[in-house]
Every structure is written in C-alpha cells, then in structure tokens.
C-alpha cells in the first residue's frame, strides 16, 4: 500500500519550525495569519505567513463547495513567488514548512507598509496660520512608484499579473525599499480570468460589471499603481465609495464620472471635474502627466511598467535625500503610534 504522504518530511519541518519563536500577529486576512517570528539561533526577525488550515472529512465543507487540500491562494502565491525569485522589489521566500495540510511560509520581516500615504492630508499639512508643512516629500511618491513599476515590469515580463496591488500589499523595509507582497491572487495571464480581483478602490474600470470570466491584461496592475500615486498626493483613498447628496456613489461611478472620455460608449450624462476629485495631482504638472497616463479609461492606452521606467523626468524625481527618508520614516512612526493608541 503506497499512499503519497509527506510524513517523512513533517518531522523534519517541525524541528525546523521549533527554531523560530512566534511573536505578535502582524497581519490577518482571509488567507490566514501572519506572525512576527524570531529565529532562536540567529536572533533575526522574520514574518511567518500561515495559511488557514482546511478541514478534512467535514461533511459541511463538502456541501458548501469548499476547497480541500491546499488553498488556491497558497498554490498561486507559491508558484508566483518561486517564478519571481531574486527580484529586489518582490518579497522573497526563505523557507517553507509543511505540516500535514498546513503550509507556512517564512519571509523577511518588513516593518512598514505603504498605508502611510493615507495620512488624510496628502503631501502637506496646512496649519491655521496659513503656513503649510511638508509631511511627505514628492520624491517618496516617485520613489515608491518607480520601485513598484520595477517589480511589475519584471512580473509582467514573465506574464504574471499581481491582481491585488494595494498600499497594504506594498511593504517597505527599514531603508524604504519597496517589496511587493501578497501574491495570493497573482496568476499567469490567460484568457477568461476571474473578474473578482483587486480591492475595490484600486480596481480598474474594465473589471467591473457582471461576474463572468473576462479577458484583461497586466494593465489592471498599472491602474492600481496610478490610484496609489493619486492616493499619496491626496492623502486618502481617492476612489473610495462616498456619500454625495442623497445616496452613495460607488467606486465605479466615480471612475466613470471623472475619467471616462466623452466619446466612450459608457460616457456619463453628467461628469465630475477631475480637479475636485484629485486637486493635488492636478496642481503638479509632472504628477498630473504620470497619473493621467496610468488612469486611462481604455486599458490599451494605459502606460505599461517598462514605459513608466523610461520616463526620465519621473525616475529623476525618485531620488530621495537622507532628509526625505527621515521625514517619511517619522511619518510612518507617528501613524503607527496613532493606530496603537486608537487600539487601547
């Protein structure tokens, strides 16, 4: 009797897992839990991503059409991460622990995420006395977007689409190097893919609509990048669902009202002025040029990752001085303190 089994290796993985001390939870999602772990031998800090363990032999799960065995997200994440190994702006995977049905991935620990751009102000804080204080330098906006574009051009060159690019999934190391993470939705591009991807405010217009499988391209990641740049300029989630007048306006409606060209079939009756939606973006000529090229309604007109990297003016703007870096790190730490105090 020969059943494929991983018992032999389980004991090995367990002894390896014992070398790491589980610390606080640093992330939680539908996929599972991310812990901060410390290596007992070297004292180095890592992140351990544990995927939710599926329940075997559960009659309920069978009826609910649930996944058994390895989760889809795990299959995707591991296959993409192994294909993208070695890129400086993509998160690396150090080790993998398999314990029966559970899979845990050991990755480098990144202390910050790009959510710092949602500071509620944008680049500058305006005080009562009329003096504006810069809180996030423009060079940081260019810096992160160039590094994300770097990772994307590498991924897209290998035909892989990330499909969940949001500030939460863009990690920053201590010296603010970008690490694109969470490949749970990433996949090799093909025809007829699931449209239920990307967190809503970062979702490209071609993904909205009915639930049928759609043909889309890596341009959806570029849209997400464009929204992140706009977010950073405005200091908030630009395309978040909002209350206006009597009802709520959905992300898709905001996109159509602000960015849909007049000669498009989906052109709205009344459009909104883009200057009201993203005033800070429109104020700066350089950012305006980049963002409008990324947020084009038609996917085939959108700037691609390698094209963005060829934009000399933008790449030059991405140079950060020590002072700029300290400013951003200070902001991040302030924000982390605020969040921590909110929790208690």
Partner 1 sequence: PSSRILATADGPLLLAFKRDFGGDGESDPAQDIKTHFRVCRFVMETGVKLGMRSVPVATACVLYHRFFERVSIRAYEPYLVAMSCVYLAGKVEEQHIRTRDIINVSHRYFNSGSAPLECDKEFWDLRDSVVQCELLILRQLNFHVSFEHPHKYLLHYLLSVKSLVNRHAWSRTPI
Binding-site residue ranges for ATP: 49
Q: Based on CB atoms, which residue is closest to partner 1, 159 or 339?
A: 159
By the rule CB under 8 A, 321 interacts with partner 1: no
55 within 8 A of 100, measured Cβ to Cβ:
no
Contacts 24+ apart (CB under 8 A), 317-323: 317/138, 317/139, 317/142, 317/286, 318/139, 318/142, 318/143, 318/145, 318/146, 319/139, 319/143, 320/137, 320/139, 320/140, 320/143, 320/176, 321/139
| Nearer to partner 1 (CB atom), residue 65 or residue 243 | 65
Instruction: Dig out the tokens for 202 from the structure.
Output: 């970062």
* Candidate residues 21, 25, 55, 68; the one interacting with partner 1 per rule CB under 8 A: 68
Q: Which is nearer to partner 1, 76 or 143 (CB)?
A: 76
Does 3 engage in binding with partner 1 (CB under 8 A)? Answer: yes
Residue 284 is a binding residue for partner 1 (CB under 8 A)? no
Residue in 39, 70, 292, 329 binding partner 1, rule: CB under 8 A: 70
Is residue 49 at the binding interface for partner 1, with CB under 8 A as the rule? no
**Candidates 55-63, 198-206, 251-259, 260-268 — which segment interacts with partner 1 by CB under 8 A?**
55-63
- Judge contact between 178 and 196, C-beta under 8 A: no
- Closer CB to partner 1, residue 23 or residue 54? 54
* Minimum distance of partner 1 from residue 37's CB (angstroms): 21
Q: Does residue 41 belong to the site contacting partner 1 (CB under 8 A)?
A: no
Least distance (Å) from partner 1 to the CB of residue 179?
19
CB of 12 to partner 1, least distance (A): 13
Between vectors from CA 89 to CA 83 and to CA 93, what angle results, nearest 5°?
A: 50
Total residues binding partner 1 (CB under 8 A)? 35
**Structure tokens, 205:** 């217009």
Tell how far CA 264 is from the center of its chain.
29
How many Cβ atoms are within 10 Å of 119's Cβ, its own excluded?
Answer: 20
User: With binding defined as CB under 8 A, does residue 67 bind partner 1?
Assistant: yes
Distance CA 236, CA 114 (A): 12
Question: Other C-beta atoms within 10 Å of 20: how many?
Answer: 21
Secondary structure (3-state) at 284: coil
Instruction: Work out how close the CB of 215 gets to partner 1 at its nearest, in angstroms, rounded to a whole number.
Output: 12
Residue 72 lies near partner 1 (rule: CB under 8 A): yes
Angle at CA 30, nearest 5°, toward 39 and 104? 30
By the rule CB under 8 A, 192 interacts with partner 1 = yes
Q: Which of 101, 200, 241, 299 binds partner 1 (CB under 8 A)?
A: 101
d(CA 344, CA 342): 6
In the complex, least distance from residue 255 CB atom to partner 1, rounded to whole angstroms: 24
Q: Which string of x and - marks every residue 194-213 that binds partner 1 (by CB under 8 A)?
A: x------------------x
Nearest approach in angstroms of CB 32 to partner 1 is 16
| Ramachandran region, residue 32 (left: φ > 0; alpha: ψ -120 to 50; beta: rest) | left
The b-or-e profile of 206-223 (16+ CB within 10 A means b, else e) is bbbeeeeebebbbbbbbb
Closer to partner 1 by Cβ: residue 7 or 276:
7
Active-site residue list: 164
**Measured distance CA(37)–CA(23) in Å, rounded:** 5
State which of residues 107, 193, 232, 317 lies at the interface with partner 1 (CB under 8 A).
Answer: 193
Binding residues for partner 1, per CB under 8 A? 1-6, 56-57, 62, 65, 67-70, 72, 75-76, 78-83, 98, 101, 159-160, 187-188, 190-194, 213
């Amino acid at each position: 009797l020969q059943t494929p089994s991983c018992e032999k290796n389980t004991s090995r993985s367990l002894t390896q897992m014992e070398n790491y001390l589980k610390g606080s939870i640093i992330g939680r999602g539908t996929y599972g839990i991310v812990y901060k772990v410390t290596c007992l031998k070297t004292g180095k800090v890592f992140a351990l991503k544990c995927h939710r363990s599926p329940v075997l032999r559960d009659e309920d799960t069978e009826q609910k059409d649930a996944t058994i065995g390895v989760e889809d997200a795990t299959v995707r994440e591991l296959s993409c991460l192994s294909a993208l190994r070695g890129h400086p702006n993509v998160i690396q995977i150090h080790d993998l622990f398999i314990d029966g049905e559970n899979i845990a991935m050991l990755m480098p620990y990144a202390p910050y995420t790009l959510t710092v751009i949602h500071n509620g102000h944008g680049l500058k804080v305006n005080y009562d006395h009329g003096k504006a204080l810069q809180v996030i330098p423009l060079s940081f906006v260019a810096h992160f977007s160039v590094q994300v574009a770097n990772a994307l051009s590498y991924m897209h060159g290998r035909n892989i689409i990330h499909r969940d690019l949001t500030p939460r999934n863009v990690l920053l190391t201590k010296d603010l190097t970008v690490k694109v993470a969470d490949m749970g939705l990433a996949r090799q591009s093909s025809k007829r893919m699931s449209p239920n991807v990307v967190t809503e405010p970062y979702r490209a217009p071609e993904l909205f609509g009915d639930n049928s499988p759609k043909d889309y391209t890596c341009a959806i990641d570029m849209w997400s990048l464009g929204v992140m740049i706009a977010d950073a300029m405005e200091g908030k989630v630009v395309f978040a669902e909002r209350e206006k007048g009597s009802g709520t306006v959905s992300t898709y409606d905001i996109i159509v009202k602000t960015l849909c060209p007049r000669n498009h079939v989906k052109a709205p009756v009344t459009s909104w002025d883009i200057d009201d939606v993203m005033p800070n973006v429109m104020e700066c000529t350089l950012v305006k040029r980049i963002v409008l090229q990324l947020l084009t309604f038609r996917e085939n007109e959108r700037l691609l990752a390698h094209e963005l990297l060829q934009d000399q003016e933008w790449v030059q703007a991405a140079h950060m001085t020590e002072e700029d870096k300290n400013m951003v790190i200070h902001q991040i730490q302030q924000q982390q303190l605020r969040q921590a105090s909110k929790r208690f």
